[in-house]
Structure formats: structure tokens, C-alpha cells
Amino acid sequence: MNVLVVGKGGREHTLAWALRRSALVDSLYAAPGNPGIAALGECVSIAPEDARGIAGFARENDIDLVVVGPDGALEAGVVDEVESLGIRAFGPTRAAAEIEWSKAFSKRMMREEGIPTAVFEVFSDVAKARAYVNELGAPIVVKTDGLAAGKGALVCRTVEEAMKALDGLMTEKKFGEAGRKVVVEAFMEGEEASVFVLTDGERVMPLVPSQDHKPIYDGDAGPNTGGMGAYAPAPVIDEGALKDILERIIEPAVLGMKRRGRPFRGVLYCGIMMTAGGPMVVEFNSRFGDPEAQVILPLLEDDFAELAVGISEGSLPAGPLTWKRKAATCVVVASGGYPGSYETGMEIRGLDLLDEMDDVFAFHADTAMRDGKLVTAGGRVLGVTALADDLRGSIDRAYDAVDRIRFDQRYFRKDIGEKGLRRMA
């Protein structure tokens, strides 16, 4: 089978790695890929959002399966274009992916389906949004309706902060069209975790629960990033909580999407807040998380290519999935200054020192080759994943690996996984 992975980050490197392990996969391509993926297959210079370009490449190169990583590509309709040519695609159509690319659509769907989530209203009029902020009071959350690279949800501690957030999004248009409409919602107190399911549009199969670390600094301080690290399994989602989340949240969402004529096929990502009143939805996403994919896929025993083919054909294989009896931790190594401004082009050294470590992977997120050298090319540079028999061991091994990797202005959080250790203690 010839497979094309769409995307260029750490999640896509992990998808490419998982697909490469399958005996079903003969040739692997990525659009546009990155230097890490280039070691596994051929990278072609097509933007992930270029739906026509990707479908055309798939047709001309006898691609049997297209696996779409990023939200922007799903919003752009890559799956629709590819499927219109009779080629299999793993991922939801543009209409189904609206569960992520419009927070207003998603929140309204949750309200209509009785799915627990924070109270909210949607606004395109800044004066009305301000009045609602005054009514709800702080803390409060202001979100762009559209996609904003993971930075569109602003947690505001005071009413003044929320007013500033509304001005930034709606008047100054900091995220362009994405903030033309906003969702204003009540703040939820609790611990956040990520629950993913594979779904064929009707049945669901849960993946191992994980936890991301979105703020830039240790102790969850500072502005949000795309994600600074993850671990799995996350003990905050125990067996009982997972059953509850499947029954009261995920299954109603999947059936709700089907009833709306937008069956969701692929991987559905549910950001969950474990509140004192039970699990509530922070957001739905239409794809694997990044960096959650970097800890989930290395723990999966099953053949991911086989699963993806089944789902792309609308039939989820009979479960359950098989998992390694191990824990995984991923530490994201970033450019100092991220998520604000930072320099790129720093030479990355020491990746070869990871070769001698079993079950340790450096997934490339934003790297480039320049004059024959591997250099930094963005904010989140690498996701370093390590497996071990337990969470403590996987954290220690991941940091041991991170210590071997060097580049100027390197930055990483030092507390990935600690919430999990505290909960287990």
C-alpha cells in the first residue's frame, strides 16, 4: 500500500513512524513532511491546506491511503477532495471537522445533545459580548470561533482582562477572521486531560487517555502554547471516568454528528475538564493531539495502518485495542522565547546519542536541513518521547534523552508528568 501523510509537525512524524511499522505499507510520502519524516519516506512540497494539490498528487502516485494530521487541512477539505477521486482518507470531511474549526458550531451541538460543557453564548457584536462578560463575571474564557493555532482560547482572571481579550479578538482582529465571532463561556475548575477515540461515524474505540501541558512554564504558568509535553496513560481518567466520558459525552457527540448528516470518521479528540461535578467538555478537536500523538501511538501494539484503512472504509475493526503495558512521556524541546518571538537556524546536536536508547524517539516538529546541518525552524522543535514500565521511569528516560540534545536557546518544561505522579501518590 502507498500512503501519504499530510502535515509537517511532530504529530505527523509520529503518524509516519506508526505507519512505517506496518507490513501493509510499501511506500510512504508526506506533504510537506519534515527532516524527521524524510528518514522514513519521501517528502513532497505541497502545503497541507492545498486540498486539490494533495488529491492530485495522490492520484498521480497511486496512493492507497491519505492520513491527514492537521486541523487546517481538514477545514480546507483535503478528505473531501481525496475521497472524491475514490481514494481512501483517514480523517473527517470538512463538514464533520466543523466540530473543531467552529467553536460556535461545536458548543451549540453540545448544548442540543445535552453534552456537559460550560455555559456559553456566541457573539459577533462586541457590545453584546461585553454585557455577557459582566453578567457571568470572572474568571471567564473567551475563545475565537475559528482556528487560531491552539492560541485562540483566553482564560481571563478578571472582567478587565476579558474586556481586553474581546477587544484584541474582535476589534484589533489579532487572529483575523477566526475572531470575527467569539464564544464566551464560564470558567471550569479542575484538571484537564485528553481523551481520543477512533470512530467510523457510529462506533467508537477509546485510545489510552493522556494529558497535555499547554502553558509555557512549569506549574502551568504563563501563556498557552501548542503543547509543551504529554504523558500516557493519564491516571486522572480512570476506568470509571472513561466509561462515563464515553457514555455521556463521546457517544452522544458521534451520534449527534451522524444525525446532522456529518458522520465523523477518524480520530475524535475530546479535551475534558475533570470538575467536582464530573467530566465536562473543554473542546472537541477533529484529529490527533500534538504532542499527545507522540505518547499514544508509541504505546499502541495494533497495526495503525490497518486501523486507518478500516476507518476510512467506514468500518471500525472489532476491538478492543492492544496496548503496551508501559507508560510514555514526551518532552517538547522548544526555541527560547516561544510562544512569543524566537530565533531559528540554531544547529541541533546530539540526536545520534539517542540511537543507543531503546524505546526513545525524537519526533521532529519544526526542524530544517541547512547546508547539510539540522537546524531549528520554529517554536516547538522536537518532541522527545520515552517509554518505560511506569510513569516515573518514562519521565526520567525522556529527560535523560533531552539532556543529550543541544541547541542554542533551547527551552523545555521540567515538570512534564508530575501531575500524574502526584495523583498516583
Indicate whether 48 belongs to the interface with ligand GLY (CB under 6 A): no
Nearest-approach distance from CB 225 to ligand GLY, in angstroms: 9
- Selected binder of ligand GLY within 182, 290, 351, 374 (CB under 6 A): 290
Indicate whether 34 belongs to the interface with ligand GLY (CB under 6 A): no
Q: How far apart are CA 303 and CA 305, in angstroms?
A: 6
- Selected binder of ligand GLY within 81, 212, 251, 366 (CB under 6 A): 212
Indicate whether 292 belongs to the interface with ligand GLY (CB under 6 A): yes
Pairing state of beta strands 2-7 and 140-144?
Answer: unpaired
How far from the centroid of its chain's Cα atoms is residue 324's Cα? 21
Q: How far apart are CA 265 and CA 259, in angstroms?
A: 14
**Residue among 249 and 365 whose Cβ is closer to ligand GLY:** 365
Q: Per-residue x/- mask for ligand GLY, residues 229 to 268, rule CB under 6 A?
A: ----------------------------------------
By CB under 6 A, which span of 153-161, 282-290, 316-324, 326-334 interacts with ligand GLY?
282-290
By CB under 6 A, which span of 101-109, 179-187, 288-296, 413-421 interacts with ligand GLY?
288-296
Nearest-approach distance from CB 272 to ligand GLY, in angstroms: 13
Indicate whether 227 belongs to the interface with ligand GLY (CB under 6 A): yes
**Residue among 153 and 246 whose Cβ is closer to ligand GLY:** 153
How far from the centroid of its chain's Cα atoms is residue 249's Cα? 19
Task: Give all strands of the β-sheet with 65-68 in edge-to-edge order.
Answer: 42-43, 27-32, 2-7, 65-68, 88-90
Residue 55 has, within 13 A of its CA and on its CB side, a CA count of 18
- Selected binder of ligand GLY within 102, 199, 285, 312 (CB under 6 A): 285
Give the chain's end-to-end CA distance (angstroms, integer).
Answer: 46
By CB under 6 A, which span of 82-90, 257-265, 289-297, 300-308 interacts with ligand GLY?
289-297
CA nearest 339: which of 248, 214, 254?
A: 214
Indicate whether 72 belongs to the interface with ligand GLY (CB under 6 A): no
Nearest-approach distance from CB 68 to ligand GLY, in angstroms: 14
Phi then psi for residue 220, to 5 deg, are 60, 40
- Count of residues that bind ligand GLY according to CB under 6 A: 7
Nearest-approach distance from CB 226 to ligand GLY, in angstroms: 6
- Are 4 and 57 in contact by the 8 Å Cβ rule? The answer is yes
Closest CB to ligand GLY belongs to which residue? 289
- Are 6 and 78 in contact by the 8 Å Cβ rule? The answer is yes
Residues 6 or more apart from 53 whose CB is under 8 A from it?
31, 46, 47
Q: Is the peptide bond before 215 cis (omega within 30 degrees of 0)?
A: no
- Selected binder of ligand GLY within 150, 190, 215, 278 (CB under 6 A): 150
Binding site for ligand GLY (CB under 6 A): 150, 212, 227, 285, 289-290, 292
